Structure 1
Amino acid sequence: MGPAKVELPPPEKYLKKHSKEPKLPDNTQCSQNLRKNCTCVAKKPEVPARTDKPPMGIRTNRNFIKTTECSVPKKPQPISVDSYKGHKQPLENSGLVPKYIKKKDFGEIPEYLRQRSEEERRAQEEYEDFVREQREQAAMKRLSDEERQAVLEGLKKNWDTLLHEYQGLSLVTDTLSKKARKQHLEEAMDELEKEIDLLQRFKTCFITDH
């Protein structure tokens, strides 16, 4: 119990300034320690003199071309930054590199479009053949001048008959039957007038068998 009993330094060895600070070893001591710890005992050959002849016939298995290629530093991989936070990805997978132009079938029409065009062309040919057959079956016949004149006279005669019936109608149309009869005669006379006008204006006329 009590304070520790330690040996006190004598008064001649008083504490001096910077006495407790660590001191670096001397340069000579460091060089000696390095020589002791160094494991590389083999020395490099001396530089040949100017008068020395170069050695001849020496062969080696070292590939200097491959060594030179391997010594070239690799190029950095191109990347694409797609956000303001700095998110990046390889440029090749970003969709910005036009890799599709390197395909073998680039610029060629796809097979399904060729089939669709062929089907459309075949359908158009079938439709044209059908229309041609219908035209041949319903071939139109040209009317001669005598026949055209006879048809024209017949239409005029029918128009005169309808006109005579129209003039014989009562002036007072107070019933539904009288109104319907008058309207029917007017429509028939208008239709005959159109047909007569066509036959008079056009000298060449065609009719079908139907």
Structure 2
Amino acid sequence: MSLVYITHHDENIVGCEHDFEKAQGPRESIFVYKNPVVERAAKYARKLRERLNEEDKKLSVILQADGTRVLTEAKKSAHRTMGCAHTPIDPPCAYLRKSQGIKWRRENTHKCPKMPPMPPLPPPGSGGKKPTMVPNFIKRNRMCAGKTIPCPPPPRYVDTPVGARHDLLNSGLVPQFICRKDFGKVPIYLKKTKRMLADMNAVCAKEQARLLELCRGIKGFTRASVQSSGPPQVPGMRVMEQAERNEILEGLRLSLTEMTKQYQSMSLLIDSIAKRQRKSKLESDLRQVEQDILLIDTTPIIYVSEY
């Protein structure tokens, strides 16, 4: 016994069985007598056979004329046997071009079932009973107006013969301020301010006492010497003069003015990292300059190293 191995073929055998069935011609019906039950069953079998034949002929991928490949729900592949004799290959000019790839589209075979029509809507006014008495809006409005409590008019006074009216409140003719509970008393915000100043003075006194304790080791340093002859002399340090202080303050204020001008001339829209970094740097520099100006203004004695 010998085996035959097919190594090459050049014929397309797709659909050979269908061509053979077509060549045989139509089959004769086995139902030669008419029976309603048999006819109904035959009709159902015929429709089922047609649907199955249509599904059997349908392929899983259908290539349309425009090159689009429609993906269906069929399980049958394009080649049931050994495939096409010659596989079509696209020319080289069709590669790496825009909109030249494989286009897929799923087949839409959904059919909405027929729904029964909606019942007609009832005519307007047929659901409820018609009122036997027409409402009297004039009478109802008159009754509502009679039950409404009127607003009391504001107190006024007349100061001219022709009857010029003015509000009595806030005019000075009514003792509405001297009868208040807090009239003639210190306001609450002033009490809070005094309390805050007292706390700050206590903190300053403690800090001065601490500085005096630290400076007791300096020769000739006493409280009387501080009050009479000024700040004590520290070895290797000198007290900043007023001219030097004014010069430093003037330079700091000029820098503050220039940086404020740069900050105000920035764009309102901060949409980049560089702008955000520049804004944060200017804000930190402005804050530092303001702190330096405040420190020099509020510190009466500043020591500067002589080295």
Same fold (TM over 0.5): no
The answer to which structure, 1 or 2, has the higher relative contact order (CA under 8 A, 6+ apart) is: 1
Name whichever structure is richer in helix by fraction: 1
TM-score calculated relative to the size of structure 2: 0.23
Tell which structure's C-alpha radius of gyration is larger.
1
